[in-house]
Structure 1
Amino acid sequence: MIRNAIGRGGRAAVAVVALCAVTASAQGPAAAAPSPEPGPARPATLAEVREELDRLYHDAEVATDAYNAAEERAAEQSARVAALARETASGRAALERLTSRMGAAARAQYRSGGLPLDVRLLLSADPEDVLDEVGRARQAQHGVDGLLRERARVLKELRTKSDAATAQLKKLRGSRKTGADARERIEQRIAAAEALETRLEEKERRRLLEMQKDSADEAHAAFLKSGAFKAAGKGASEEGAIAVAFVTAQLGKPYEWAAEGPDSYDCSGLTSQAWAAAKRTIPRTSQEQWRQLPRVGLQDMRPGDLIIYHEDASHVGMYVGGGSIIHAPRPGRNITVADAGSMFVLGVVRPDRRP
């Protein structure tokens, strides 16, 4: 999809250049077409290339979290809109029934009208029947009053539900707009990163991978030196063991943004589905996992816990013991085992139901 978009953009650019050339020749030699602006220059050194790639993929990951959150909100809002629609339809049916009953009561009252009560008593052979009829008429009037009150209540509920549905639809449109904007940012960042990587020569790509590994190794060594993992490594809970088994079974599958399996995953799609396998529903995004799940100290970490990375909580991996995590790294990479300290650690959260 990204390549097709780039292809269309390229054809459009060619068309614009051709149009400029035709216009310039029509205006004569003095109106020569300006030289096309050069594209963005490749960073000068491999270190700068690595920094730029890290930035682009990080931005894509942040946007992926925004997209996932927007999609989750949109699904909830769509369900609420549908429920409100059903409730509104039920309310309208109740209103129609009330209206029908009120019409029947009004017709009955009309038929029982006529002469004044004193005249009817004088003319009737059995005045008690007339009084009984009057009593029934009064009861019917009370029934009509009750129907009127019920109709007013149903109308009020319908207005409330209609207003709520309108508000939910507005929120739904906002969530879909947020998701569309995030999708565009993701595709732009990934396209830019892929374009930058394709401009590297093979030996530069190999050297870049070495540099990335060296950087991760240095970060992990510094993290180990801090003593954070000294007491870590206690056994997993029963739920945690199921979650660890799930992520282990996904090793080698590709990263794909917004994916929740079974063939590909993004980072939080992997962790949320792993805990779903353990019958535990957790938030879909790494940022919400960090915000909502109970936090534990690094020294208390055990397999199945989630390590949240970067200051903006934009990445997550599952701790599997022995100082290692399993995670879905980024576009172009597969689910893999990595050192737990190979990225900046924000903290640890525990999805377990028990401490």
Structure 2
Amino acid sequence: MPVARNVRSWQRSAAVCSALLAVGALSLPAAQSAAARPYEPPPAQPATTPPAVPPAALGSLPTPGTTAGPESLPQLLTQLQTLYQQSEAATESYNQAKVTADQQRAKARSLDGQLAEARAKVAAGKDQVGLLARQLYRTGGLSPYMAMLGGESPQDFFGTLHLAQHTVETQQAAVDSLTAEEDRLAGLNAQAQKALDAAQTAQNTQAAKKTEIETNLRQVEALLAGLSGVQISELEALEEQGADKAQQEFMHSTPLGGDAAVRAPSAKGDAAIAYAFAQLGKPYVWGAVGPGSFDCSGLTSQAWAHAGVPIPRTAEEQWAKLPRVPLSLLRPGDLVIYFPKATHVALYIGNGLVVQAPHTGSYVKISQIGANPVLGAVRPDMGAQPLAHYEPRKVPATRAPATAKAGKGTRTPEAKAPAAHKK
């Protein structure tokens, strides 16, 4: 008999070792090693310099230090307007890239917190599985078949069977929980990597668009360098003539409705107009959202934000995500979107006029709605009722800052807000 009992003891030990090996294998799924690797962002790609304006387009224009003749001013104006539009399109792309990069970095930071929590749960799960394995070893756990061979009565067999089943269920639940947490950890890690990759891509786009903007602005400065003050005044007069003609054609072909001159904004639309009026005279600076300077969508997004209605940052996103309205129903406070790719935006104030930050070298001003090609209009507060009793705000007189013509974009004194009006 002693020999038989020693054999049974040896069999129990062998069963315990087999169980420990099985638990150890289950507690280390293959996904764990991939999930635990820290993320390393890909190397930044060098920003590519966009193609400059073709030399042929600049061949007949004045070079720095020379004087432009009257016959070249229309061509010079066309070239300047092309550069301004290209710069503004690049600015809006830069702004959107910045928004995307900021959003993706914020998402990655949020995922970092979830990753830390998931790692803690995985560590706790491994501890639990290890504890069960050690308890199994200490108690001499064995399979029900080994227990049946070594038991002395049916009661021993069924009691041992019940305990074994309970132990297996507990072990399996612990291993299943650990596996699920490790899968979650791997998924979160992949999401964090994707967010950081997107942020890096957007950051590269920012750098490329910054280069494009600066290249265009250097060409603007070069084109203006050879002009005298008289010629710049003539150029501005020529631009105003073109804007007047475009406005006449727009108003003739696109009626704004019979009551366009007296149509009322909503309360928040009126607040957006008040904010825009307070910015008149401040310089255009690409990428700026105030308070000392603005670009086109920086002005409109801030005007509506101060009215209590957050809207997208860029003209393209404002066009894509805000409710559209027909021009025949345009009311003060609506946003007018320009150019085929929605690269410019202005705030409508009524009677065929808008407040806008036009382009580099200019400033926040009142302009005619049709001065640029209109794409359409959007309403940030669709469904809001117009004011029942509305008297249009008096448009404040605005003087161009001294630095605007030079295109330096320096800070100027803030314009005073218009006086309160009756409603």
**Scaled by the length of structure 1, what TM-score is found?**
0.82
Task: Give the AA of the match of 1:174.
Answer: T
Which residue does the alignment assign to 2:222?
Answer: 195
Partners of 2:333 and 2:348 within 8 A in 1: yes
2:305 counterpart of 1:302: no
Aligned counterparts of 2:186 and 2:254: Cα–Cα separation in 1 = 61
2:61 aligns with one of 10, 30, 42: 42
Q: Contact between 2:147 and 2:160, CA under 8 Å: does it hold in 1?
A: no
Look up the match of 1:215. Answer: 242
- The AA in structure 1 aligned to 2:178 is R
Residues 279/132 of structure 1: CA separation in 2 closer, same or farther (3 Å cut)? farther
Q: Is the 8 A contact 1:267 1:317 kept in 2?
A: yes
CA gap of 1:185–1:114, structure 2 versus 1, over 3 A, is closer
Offset at residue 188 of structure 1 (A): 0.7
Over the aligned positions, Cα root-mean-square deviation in angstroms equals: 2.3
Match of 1:251 in 2: 280
Q: Which residue of 2 aligns with 1:270?
A: 299
Aligned counterparts, 1:205-354, within 5 A: 205-226=232-253, 228-231=255-258, 232-233=260-261, 234-354=263-383
Q: Which residue of 2 aligns with 1:98?
A: 125
Q: How does 1:30-179 map to 2 (within 5 A)?
A: 42-43=61-62, 45-113=72-140, 117=147, 122=152, 135-179=162-206
Q: Secondary structure at the match of 1:351?
A: coil
Which whole-Å CA distance do the structure 1 matches of 2:382 and 2:120 have between them?
44
- Offset, 1:164: 2.1
Moved more, 65-74 or 275-284: 275-284
CA distance in 2, matches of 1:216, 1:317: 15
1:13 counterpart residue number: none
Deviations 1:62-108 (A, max 9, x none): 00011011111111111121222222221111000001111111111
Amino acid of the structure 2 residue aligned with 1:78: R
Question: Partners of 1:95 and 1:159 in 2: how far apart?
Answer: 11
- What's the CA shift for 1:353? 3.7
CA distance in 2 between counterparts of 1:223 and 1:164 reads 49
Q: Give how far 1:122 is off.
A: 4.9
SS of equivalent to 1:341: helix
Indicate conservation of the 8 Å contact 1:239/1:278, yes or no: yes
Contact conserved, 1:296 with 1:348, CA < 8 A, in 2?
A: yes
Counterpart position of 1:26: none
Matched length = 314
Deviation at 1:336, TM superposition (A): 0.6
Letter of the structure 2 residue corresponding to residue 225 of structure 1: H
3-state SS of paired residue (1:254): coil
1:248, distance to aligned residue in structure 2 (A) = 1.1
Contact kept, 8 Å, 1:271 with 1:318, in 2: the verdict is yes
Range that drifts further, 237-246 or 155-164: 155-164
2:303 alignment partner AA? A
State the alpha-carbon separation in 1 of the partners of residues 248 and 141 from structure 2. Answer: 101
Report if the CA contact (8 A) 1:91-1:154 is conserved: yes
**Alpha-carbon separation, structure 2, partners of 1:277 and 1:288:** 19
Q: How far 1:197 moved relative to its partner?
A: 1.0
8 Å Cα contact 1:307/1:317 also seen in 2: yes
Deviates more, 1:89-98 or 1:170-179: 170-179
Q: In the TM superposition, what is the alpha-carbon distance from 1:250 to its structure 2 partner?
A: 1.0
Q: CA deviation at 1:168?
A: 2.2
The answer to whether the 8 Å contact 1:109/1:137 transfers is no
Q: CA deviation at 1:42?
A: 2.7
C-alpha separation in 2, matches of 1:230 and 1:94:
64
Inter-partner Cα distance in structure 2 for 1:277 and 1:132: 74
Sequence identity of aligned pairs in percent? 36
| Structure 2, unaligned runs of 5 or more | 1-57, 63-67, 385-423
Question: C-alpha separation between the residues in 1 aligned to 2:166 and 2:94?
Answer: 61
Distance 2:275 2:141 in 1: 82
Asked if structure 2 preserves the Cα contact closer than 8 Å seen for 1:66 and 1:182, the reply is: yes
Question: Is the 1:309–1:346 contact (alpha carbons within 8 Å) kept by the matching residues of 2?
Answer: yes
| Equivalence for 1:30 | none
Give the structure-2-normalised TM-score. 0.69
Question: Is the CA contact (8 Å cut-off) linking 2:346 and 2:356 kept in structure 1?
Answer: yes
2-structure distance, mates of 1:166, 1:322: 51
Q: Which is further off, 298-307 or 219-228?
A: 219-228
State the distance in 1 between where 2:99 and 2:257 align.
Answer: 38
How many angstroms apart in 2 are the aligned matches of 1:95 and 1:183? 44
Code of the residue aligned with 1:192 in structure 2: it is: Q
Change (3 A) 1:227 1:86: closer
The Cα shift of 1:226 comes to 2.9
Inter-partner Cα distance in structure 2 for 1:51 and 1:114: 89
User: Residues of 1 paired with 2:198 and 2:185: CA distance?
Assistant: 20
1:172 Cα deviation from its structure 2 partner: 1.7
**In 2, are the aligned partners of 1:304 and 1:318 still within 8 Å (CA)?**
yes
| Shift in Å, 1:130 | 9.6
Please say if residues 261 and 270 of structure 1, whose CA atoms lie closer than 8 Å, have aligned partners that are also in contact: yes
Spell out, residue by residue over 1:160-179, the C-alpha distance to the aligned partner (whole angstroms, 9 max, x if none).
Answer: 22222222222222111111
